Structure formats: structure tokens, C-alpha cells
Structure 1
């Protein structure tokens, strides 16, 4: 469970379980992608401006699978939640392991377990928590050091609930659905999980992944990037691009559940996280998911003769998605008809 700080990746040990296959070009030299920046405040503006904003979000998420949002109302929390997590990862390892992940568990702090000898390990550690609803929280995994960690995460996640609702209502309106359609299809209560990611420096960042290429199992993911070091990369039209850091902004990713619900109108984002040779980096992904008992399937109003159902019914389970992720596969690919 210890955070990796140095791994054997010299030419003398080419079989290191951290070395990725494929192209080993310098990831920092990839081009930046010009993602549209969405002013979220426009979604509550007068009707004409709202309609234009709805269509812009639909177009952006249909084209890129993600977007950058500003004027989202959470600005006051961003530095606080970053600082709280940085203070946590700066603690001695034995202190952090008070909240360690169980061997076969998904919550708590540690490196991801890798089932099998041939799978590539990620150069990162994570603190994984169920955030909402509150009654689902397992507080034994929630750090009490720093003292303000729990309070800050609770405040931040409370504000994000509004962001999820605003965006999902806008997407429903853009498809001529009742604006609560996506929220209704998620079931009650829908789930918010937190993934606090820590990427230590790596002497050869061109040989490893911080997080392997994947798409999220979510409806939507809200990502708070590091304030200084970029590392998020997305795939578009078969090419990888770096995602810029926009001060005060959040990145919204489409997850596999939304792709299925929308019958393929919105595509889940295929993305990865890279590391840096000099500095450590953090990020925070907040994942919105349907209730675990919900069967995810295309919304009936989005299925017709011209656009028949594109996906089978799927019940998303964390264990299944994790095994797919580690093996470089995607649940969404097996769900396609």
C-alpha cells in the first residue's frame, strides 16, 4: 500500500511492472486541445441565453466528451480542498496508512491492487471515498489529519450536487426531454464517489502511466486539476492531446453510463493521466453514478427507427469496472449492440 517513490525502470530491468507498452514519446510534447470553455452561469440566464447555452454544452460533449466550466459557484472551495489533500499526502506514510484500503476493498488510501502478473501498475496512489449520500459513507476511511479534511470535502461535495443537477438538466433540455429525465434515470439515491489522486515525481515519465487509459463508469465526472502541473490527456480522433489548466475552472467528463442513457449521443471520454519528472501532482475526481441497483439502458425517447438502441442493459458494479480498467478494456465496448 505504500506510495511508490522510486521504481526500477532502467534498461537493466525492462520487465518492471510499471513500464507501459506502446509509444514512449515524451507526453509533455503532445499538443494542447482547444476545449470550449462553458460559463455555467448562462444555464440560469433568461430563456434565449439558456437555450443557446444548452445547445453549446450538447455540442461540446457530443464532440469532445468533456468540457471546461467556469462561473460554477464553487470557486471558494477549490484551494481549500486542494490544500487539505496536499496536507494529507505530505504526512508520513505510517500516518496515512491509518486510513489504508483493505486488500480487496475500494475505499481508503493506497495504490490500486493489480490482479495478475502481466498488468501494468499505475505510478500513483489514491484516496477513494464514498461521499454521498451521507449514510453510505464509511468514515473509518476518511482522514482526520488534517483536522479540517472532512469538513472541507463535505462542503465541496455539497456544492457539486448543484453542478451535476444544472448540467444534467441542460443536457436533457437539449435533447427535448423533461429536464429531470437523466436525474430520474439515475435512481435514488444516486452516488457520488471521490478519487483523490496523488502522482509522485517519476525519473522517466515517458515510460509509465499515472492512470492507464480508460473511460469512467460514471454519468458525469467533475475533475479538479492540479493548480500548476498538467497531466490529464484525452483521445480524440485517434490522437492524444493534453488538456490545459484554466485557473478557477473544473473539467467535466462524460462517463459510460451517460453514453448508454443518451443512446450514444454523448460519448464517454477516453483519457489517461501522466506524471512529471520533477514535481508531484494531485487531482480530485468526483464521480456521479446511478444507484447501484439501477439497470442502465438507453432512454426510451431517444430510441427510434432512425436510431435503434445501441447498447444492451447494463448493471454497473465497481468490481467489474475495476477489472476491466486494469486489463485495458472498457465495459461500454461489451455493452454495444
Structure 2
């Protein structure tokens, strides 16, 4: 579906101007509500904190923690990753500054490409009006290809704030190093050669990192809207920089929702569907969502590490045996299929359709 003309686009930031009433297209239908949509405070998840320095030194205890967390929750928070808290605040700062710009300035980077294009990922500034979903998410966002640099469309990168490009290039470089280190550690945690997962992601020129910059405006009817609907990620791994003050991210485990804690100096790692497939189901790709605050705006940056779509993805042969047979089909272009497939609930996620039933 083609993006809407710029003239028809209205940022979520502006929809409450005037009467201050949340439009019906953002209000969840009755079948989308859960018991957690009231004033009950959800429990905090038991979030594992991984020290990258210890992980890189092959600490048995740290590798065991990593394996357990990715098998149980599908996510970890990583500290001692080589990025200072002040630098992470700079990254958050340029995101906040971009979304604070006047609408006519942000619209210079409006998303113009065809939705679901097989030639390139969606890039530019927009919100879910572009997709015209059943019920819209309460957020504005911007997608940018961040890696490899040779494929970046810098004409879509904001010129304001002036340090946006410098900071994001630096952050992307450091995040890719973090990603590579984690891939090696995940393989070691499974008692594999540390380079085994590079069958999924390596030095392939078609491997990409797509960034989604999110702005979740405060909403007086916060319990009646979704910041971001429940979903899993179609990536191999997703690297998330959370807001350092405002909570919002929640994760599903055993049919119950849990809050994800804010650790300002940490980088959050989510397992994506393609890594669940490659690990033959040992590492889990969790469903997660974002709720909004009635009092505070919130920003975040999600970086989706996506393998070459022409590369066949399937369980590593070393992880298939009599006790654990192959649990997933082998397939190509998972990412393209994923972005054309928008499930209404966790049971309908694409990852479930590629499982092998014995």
C-alpha cells in the first residue's frame, strides 16, 4: 500500500490539539482490551543483566545467564558495552530534538516509498496512518537504513539537529560491534563454535540494520490506546535503546504481560524470529508491546539486524538431533514475508506458521 500524500498526514503529536479528544481510530476495540488495560500495575519482569566484558572473556557464569535468559524471556539488558551513559543520552537527545521540530520541518523527510517494497525497506518519517491498520498505534516514527553505510539514503536523514548523522553513525558502529559480540557469545552458550551464527549474519553486503525511531506522545486516554500493538520481531536480533525516564515497554511470558525495567546505562536485546529459527527454538522471540503514559512523552530507538533476504534461514544442523528434531522449516526472505503479515494476536504470528508439526 502506498504511503499517504504528505498533505493527508497528521502527526499523532497534533491529534489532541483543539478539543483534546482522542479520535476513534486510535481507540482499541473491545476484543483488543485486556485486564491489564485498567489501573492495575503489572509486575516487573525478572530481567537478566549481562556484562559484555565478562561475556567476551567467556565467563561460564555469564554464558549460562545469557543462555537461560534468552531461552526463558528472549531478552537481556547489556551493560559494560563500551558506550557511556552520557553518549546514550546524546542519542536519546537527538531523537527528542527531531520529534520536537515543527511539522513542516519533519515532513521534509516524509516516507514516500511503496509499503512492502521488495527493493528497499521503508524509510522516512510517518506514523501508522500510512498503513491504515484496523486500529492505529499512538506513535510517530521514522525508519532509516543505518547499515551498511553505502546503502544509506542520507537525504532522508534529518539535517536538524545538526549532529544527528554524526551521533547515529557512531551509535550504529558501536551497536554492530555489540551485535557481533553477542552472536559469538550466544553460539558459545550453546557449546558451538563462536562463528556458527555467522551463517545467519556475516560480512554479507546484503545484511542490513534498519532503525525505527519512536515518539510516543502522552495521552489522557492511555489505557484505551496502544503505543505499539503486541508483536514479535522479524529480525535476527533487535537492539533497543529505551527512554531513560519513562516506562512503556512490556513483554509477554506464559500468557501474562510484564513491565520491562528502565536501566539507563543498558542496551536491551530482543531475540527476533530468525534467531529463534536458527537456534531451533532454544532462544525465544518474545511478543512485546508499548503502552503510553498519560503524563509524559517517551522516545526509543529499535535497531533491527536483518540477514540477507536471499540467504536461506533454518535451524543450525548442530542443534538438530534425536532429542530435538528440526522444529522449523527452512526459508528465504523471511523479513519481506514478515512485513506483509500483520497478525491480530500472538497465536497468529508468522513464526508459528513456519513450525514443523510432528
Q: What does 1:222-241 align with in structure 2 at a 5 Å threshold? A: 222-241=239-258
Q: Report if aligned partners of 1:218, 1:256 keep a CA contact under 8 Å in 2.
A: yes
Q: Report if aligned partners of 1:103, 1:113 keep a CA contact under 8 Å in 2.
A: no
SS of match in other structure, 1:152: helix
Quote how far apart the aligned CAs of 1:264 are: 0.2
Quote how far apart the aligned CAs of 1:7 are: 5.9
Q: Report if aligned partners of 2:143, 2:212 keep a CA contact under 8 Å in 1.
A: yes
Where does residue 4 of structure 1 map in the other structure? 12
Distance in structure 2 (CA, Å) of the matches to 1:115 and 1:80: 31
Within the candidate set 98, 102, 105, 1:92 is matched to: 102
How many residue pairs get matched? 331
1:108 aligns with 2:124: yes
- Relative to structure 1, the CA distance from residue 284 to residue 42 in structure 2 (aligned partners, 3 Å threshold; closer, same or farther) is same
Distance in structure 1 (CA, Å) of the matches to 2:302 and 2:212: 5
Distance in structure 2 (CA, Å) of the matches to 1:36 and 1:238: 20
Where does residue 146 of structure 2 map in the other structure? 131
Within the candidate set 61, 86, 100, 1:52 is matched to: 61
SS of match in other structure, 1:325: coil
Q: What does 1:80-229 align with in structure 2 at a 5 Å threshold? A: 80-102=90-112, 104-105=114-115, 106-113=122-129, 115=131, 119-187=134-202, 188-189=204-205, 190-229=207-246
1:150-203 superposed Cα distances (whole Å, 9 cap, x missing partner)? 110000010011111111101101112110111232241321111110001111
- Structure 1 residue runs of 5 or longer lacking an equivalent are none
Output the aligned Cα RMSD. Answer: 2.2
SS of match in other structure, 2:212: strand
- Structure 2 residue runs of 5 or longer lacking an equivalent are 1-8, 116-121
Q: Report if aligned partners of 1:114, 1:121 keep a CA contact under 8 Å in 2.
A: no
Quote how far apart the aligned CAs of 1:103 are: 5.5
* Range 289-298 or range 259-268, more displaced: 289-298
- Relative to structure 1, the CA distance from residue 82 to residue 327 in structure 2 (aligned partners, 3 Å threshold; closer, same or farther) is same
1:334 aligns with 2:353: yes
Quote how far apart the aligned CAs of 1:26 are: 3.0
Where does residue 35 of structure 1 map in the other structure? 47
Within the candidate set 23, 29, 32, 2:34 is matched to: 23
Q: Report if aligned partners of 1:27, 1:274 keep a CA contact under 8 Å in 2.
A: no
